[in-house]
Chains A and B, each alone.
Chain A
């Protein structure tokens, strides 16, 4: 099998997750090449053909230019599949490639199943196996699902370019609010949509305080304004690795799991025992938060 990997550059560096594309290719025992909009001054460690375009000319966020680059590399390399990360870059670019190639796309691959690709369904509660029916396929792999393969060697660079005109004009980046650093917290108690309302967040605060920990949040809680955005845990928030992570009413969307998978012990409290948070929980308590959180807080305070 011949795979063309689409590397990702952010802030002038190849993202660490790009090595997961190599890990995925290794699982398939595939022959690999890579296409990348980057810089000739900072070549990635990679043994194989590297189709390299200049990032500054292409623009980091011009998906139409990147589409033309990858299509050019596909034309030259004739791979069986092109593989991207299911990241904000990859899931935006992949269907543009599939449309141009009139091919199958498999989104968010988390595993392999007898020649098919395993993907998540129903907010991560379920899984299914998708098989392309076309000879060529576009695949996006879920960040964190495949172990990174060590990147080594020097690439055989083939310079490519695409017309830089883009229908999408990049105006700038908005940096996240800072101020609360959860990355070093030993204990984090996070509130999810299941807490039910802004006033109920107090129960989460009380437990965090009894455990001497910080309060975290899942995305819906932040979007609803129940907690400040700086407390968001997940791929669009902070990545955390506390000794104890308590997930209160968090169903466990894969983006949330990606931000807390480094936690030591995971206690999840949820009324739905099939919620995907169960896939990472060391202890799942099936209970009503309004009853259980005060009981646990009281028990801790009585120690």
Chain B
């Protein structure tokens, strides 16, 4: 059984984002890179399934992106994926979801993947489109935002979150694509021998053209910081001084610290 996992490399979200010269996206200088968190859930779930199935399953990790993403593909290998495919596309960071999906579809079509796992969205573009676009274009069933997964001979049972803390349980059949949500699993830390092994592994490298890159459906620009609360106050300094300042503000701006001490 062949399983595909689609992953993306994103910057650490704690980093400082500055617009690039064109103002279309962020400048990559000074950012640290890692696997998109939702995609790590996808890798973990695929590898767990492979381990349960024993020798009959093989997991391929696929990543579209510039040269830097090789590191994230090696991370997927160290977590237990068998093969890694890099669609080497320096322009990937600013491509729209349609284009990214077109390349994944171009690679996956005809390769007989029974299951495709991916994250429910990327942390940087947050479009939550690529997984579904791939599924629709491959003509496979798709369940999104799953928080539980069960496989029994091609029958899949998943839990999917809806609003208000509720989840629903859905059943579908392979071939299928599943997008993974936080809460599905805790991705493993690779062992040192697996890390060493992944460093020596050979990656398959493909060009965007060879996998059928299509023109975009949308453009993106005017990348800028989120507006702050204009009325908000920012304080920093040493903890004790800050505590006194905060206490004073809470006393004047809120009614929660009633007279005669703390409630």
- Chain A interface residues (CB < 8 Å from chain B): 10, 61, 63-64, 87-89, 91-92, 94-96, 98-100, 102-108, 113, 116, 119-134, 137, 167-177, 186-187, 210-213, 219-220, 223-224, 229, 232, 235-238, 243-244, 251, 264-265, 267, 272-274, 276, 278-288, 291-292, 294-296, 298-301, 303
| Per-residue contact bits, chain B 238-263, to A (CB 8 Å; 1 contact, 0 not) | 01101110110110011111000111
Q: A88 to B145, Cβ gap below 8 A?
A: yes
Q: B136 to A127, Cβ gap below 8 A?
A: no
Contact of A133 among B125, B171, B216 (CB under 8 A): B216
For residue A171, which residues in chain B have a CB less than 8 angstroms away from its CB?
157, 168-171
Interface size bucket, B side? 35 or more
Among B51-59, B74-82, B224-232, the stretch in contact with A:
B224-232
Distance (whole angstroms) from the CB of A268 to the closest CB of chain B = 9
Query: Complex: how many Å from CA A291 to CA B257?
Result: 22
Q: B163 to A10, Cβ gap below 8 A?
A: yes
Q: B256 to A243, Cβ gap below 8 A?
A: yes
Contact of A168 among B97, B131, B172, B223 (CB under 8 A): B172
Query: Complex: how many Å from CA A10 to CA B163?
Result: 10
Q: A243 to B254, Cβ gap below 8 A?
A: yes
Q: A267 to B250, Cβ gap below 8 A?
A: yes
Distance (whole angstroms) from the CB of B148 to the closest CB of chain A = 9
For residue B236, which residues in chain A have a CB less than 8 angstroms away from its CB?
273, 285-287
Q: B165 to A176, Cβ gap below 8 A?
A: yes
Minimal Cβ-Cβ distance residue in A for B140: A167
Minimal Cβ-Cβ distance residue in A for B164: A176
Minimal Cβ-Cβ distance residue in B for A212: B263
Q: A223 to B183, Cβ gap below 8 A?
A: yes
- Find residues 22-62 in chain B having any chain A CB closer than 8 Å to their own CB: 24-26
Q: A219 to B223, Cβ gap below 8 A?
A: no
For residue A10, which residues in chain B have a CB less than 8 angstroms away from its CB?
162-163
For residue A134, which residues in chain B have a CB less than 8 angstroms away from its CB?
217-218
Query: 9 A-B residue contacts at CB 8 Å?
Result: A89-B162, A91-B144, A168-B141, A170-B169, A211-B256, A267-B250, A272-B14, A283-B233, A296-B242
Q: A122 to B243, Cβ gap below 8 A?
A: no
For residue B235, which residues in chain A have a CB less than 8 angstroms away from its CB?
283-286
For residue B191, which residues in chain A have a CB less than 8 angstroms away from its CB?
none
- Find residues 158-189 in chain B having any chain A CB closer than 8 Å to their own CB: 159-173, 182-183, 186
- Chain B interface residues (CB < 8 Å from chain A): 11, 13-14, 16-17, 24-26, 96-98, 123-129, 131-133, 136-137, 141-145, 157, 159-173, 182-183, 186, 216-229, 231-237, 239-240, 242-244, 246-247, 249-250, 253-257, 261-263
Q: A303 to B126, Cβ gap below 8 A?
A: no
Distance (whole angstroms) from the CB of A106 to the closest CB of chain B = 7
Chain B interface mostly: mixed
Query: Complex: how many Å from CA A123 to CA B225?
Result: 11
Q: A244 to B256, Cβ gap below 8 A?
A: yes
Query: Complex: how many Å from CA A211 to CA B157?
Result: 44
For residue B131, which residues in chain A have a CB less than 8 angstroms away from its CB?
95
For residue B246, which residues in chain A have a CB less than 8 angstroms away from its CB?
267, 283, 285, 296, 299
Other than the known A61-B168, A96-B132, A108-B128, what 5 A-B pairs have Cβ atoms closer than 8 Å?
A104-B218, A113-B222, A128-B224, A171-B168, A212-B256
Query: Complex: how many Å from CA A109 to CA B93?
Result: 20
Distance (whole angstroms) from the CB of B199 to the closest CB of chain A = 29
Q: A286 to B128, Cβ gap below 8 A?
A: no
Distance (whole angstroms) from the CB of B59 to the closest CB of chain A = 23
Query: Complex: how many Å from CA A298 to CA B242?
Result: 12
Query: Complex: how many Å from CA A291 to CA B255?
Result: 25
Q: B144 to A105, Cβ gap below 8 A?
A: no
Query: Complex: how many Å from CA A104 to CA B215?
Result: 11
Q: B226 to A120, Cβ gap below 8 A?
A: yes
Q: A133 to B217, Cβ gap below 8 A?
A: yes
Query: Complex: how many Å from CA A10 to CA B162?
Result: 10
Query: Complex: how many Å from CA A223 to CA B126?
Result: 20
Q: A243 to B255, Cβ gap below 8 A?
A: yes
Given A100-B136, A129-B221, do A284 and B182 touch, yes or no (CB 8 Å)?
no
Query: Complex: how many Å from CA A279 to CA B226?
Result: 7
Contact of B165 among A108, A236, A284, A288 (CB under 8 A): A236
For residue A243, which residues in chain B have a CB less than 8 angstroms away from its CB?
254-256
Q: A279 to B218, Cβ gap below 8 A?
A: no
For residue B227, which residues in chain A have a CB less than 8 angstroms away from its CB?
279
Query: Complex: how many Å from CA A94 to CA B133?
Result: 10
Q: A130 to B182, Cβ gap below 8 A?
A: no
Contact of A127 among B217, B224, B237, B255 (CB under 8 A): B224
Contact of A126 among B223, B242, B254 (CB under 8 A): B223
Query: Complex: how many Å from CA A177 to CA B237?
Result: 40
Q: A130 to B219, Cβ gap below 8 A?
A: yes
For residue A238, which residues in chain B have a CB less than 8 angstroms away from its CB?
165
Given A123-B13, A229-B165, A295-B243, do A168 and B143 touch, yes or no (CB 8 Å)?
yes
